[in-house]
Amino acid sequence: ENNISRYHQEFLELELIGKGQFGSVYKCVNRLDGCIYAVKKSTKPVAGSAFEKTALNEVYAHAVLGKHQHVVRYYSAWAEDNHMIIQNEYCNGGSLADKIVREPLSGQELRTLLLHVAEGLRYIHSEGLVHMDIKPGNIFVSREKKLHITNYDSADDGFEDLDDTSLLEEELTYKIGDLGHVTSIQNPQVEEGDCRYLPNEILHEDYSHLTKADVFALGVTALECAGAGPLPKNGDEWHRLRQGRVPALPQKLSRDLVELLEAMIRPDATHRPSPSQILQHRALSPDSSK
Ligand SMILES: Cn1cc(CCO)c2c3c(c(-c4ccccc4Cl)cc21)C(=O)NC3=O
C-alpha cells in the first residue's frame, strides 16, 4: 500500500497547537498553496465505535456546512496509517478559552461575541443541524488588521505619518469550531457535550428543542466570558444556573445585556430566544453601546 504519508507530503508542520484525548492539532503550512491550516490528527477510531460515529459526524457536518464567516472552514479529511486527519481553516487569534484566561470580555466584546456566534448558530440550524458542544474552547478567534481611512489628512501626499493605532485596526471575528458533536435536528443522535454548558433538558434526554440547547450553551459561555467562571460541573451551583439565575459578575453590564443572557439560560427551552431573536435583541442593536 502507499505508505508515503499524504500529511507529510502536503504539509510542513510548524507547531503543536492543541492536544487532548481527541488527538493533536498542528499549525501547518500547505506546501502547494503556501497557506496556513489547522490540522487535527486523531487515532483512527475502532470501526463501529462511538468514536467513529463522532469522527464521521464531524466530517459530514463540515461537508454540509460550507463557507460561513462564523463557522471554521473545512478543507479536507482523510485516513492514513491508522489516523483520521482533518484540515481546517487556521484561526490566528487562539480560542476564546485562551482569550478569557487573563481577563473577562468587556460589554462591547460580549456583544460582538453574541452577534458572531448567534449568526453562526442561525446558519448551522438553518441547515437542519445543531452543534451540541458550544463553549469557549470550541470558539476560535481570527484577528485581521483592517485599514480604516478614518482621519485621512488630504494634505499628506502619502501615508508617511501613518499612525498605525488609528488606521490599522485589529478586527476580531469569532468562529464556531469543533463539529464533533453536531447532529441532525430531525433524527438526533446526541453525544452530550461539556456538562458545564449542558441544559437540564438534555441531561434528561429531552431532545424536542435541540436548537435551544445551543442557545443555552452560548448563554453560559457568555456568562463565563463576562467573568462568572469557573463554571460548576455539577451540584447546587450547577442547578442554580439551570434555574435561570445569572450569577454575580465582576463587571457592570447593561440591563439589556443581562436580560438577554437571562433569557438565553431560561429553564424552559421554549422560552429561550432563537439565534434570530438574539440578533434582533435591543442589547445587540448598534446604538446600545451608548
Ligand atoms: C486547539 N486548537 C487551536 C487552534 C488555533 C486557534 O488559534 C485550533 C483550530 C482548530 C481546532 C480543531 C478543533 C476540532 C477539530 C479540528 C480542529 Cl483543526 C483546534 C485548534 C480549527 O479547526 N481551526 C483552528 O484554528
How far away, in angstroms, is 92 Cα from ligand 1 center?
A: 10
Contact residues of ligand 1, CB 6 A cut-off = 17-18, 25, 38, 40, 72, 86, 88-95, 140, 177-178
- pLDDT tens digit string along 193-222? 999 999 999 999 999 999 999 999 999 999
Question: Which pLDDT score, from 0 to 100, does residue 50 have?
Answer: 76
Give me ligand 1 centre to Cα 25, in Å. 6
The predicted-structure confidence for 101-150, as pLDDT tens digits, reads as follows 999 999 999 999 999 999 999 999 999 999 999 999 999 999 998 877 66
Report which of 262, 100, 89 is spatially closest to residue 179, judged by C-alpha positions.
89
DSSP string, 132-161: S--SGGGEEEEEEEEE--SS--TT-SSSTT
Residue written as grid cell 486523531: 42
Spatial distance between the Cα atoms of 250 and 223, rounded to a whole number of angstroms: 11
> Is the ipTM above a cut-off of 0.95?
yes
Model pTM? 0.92
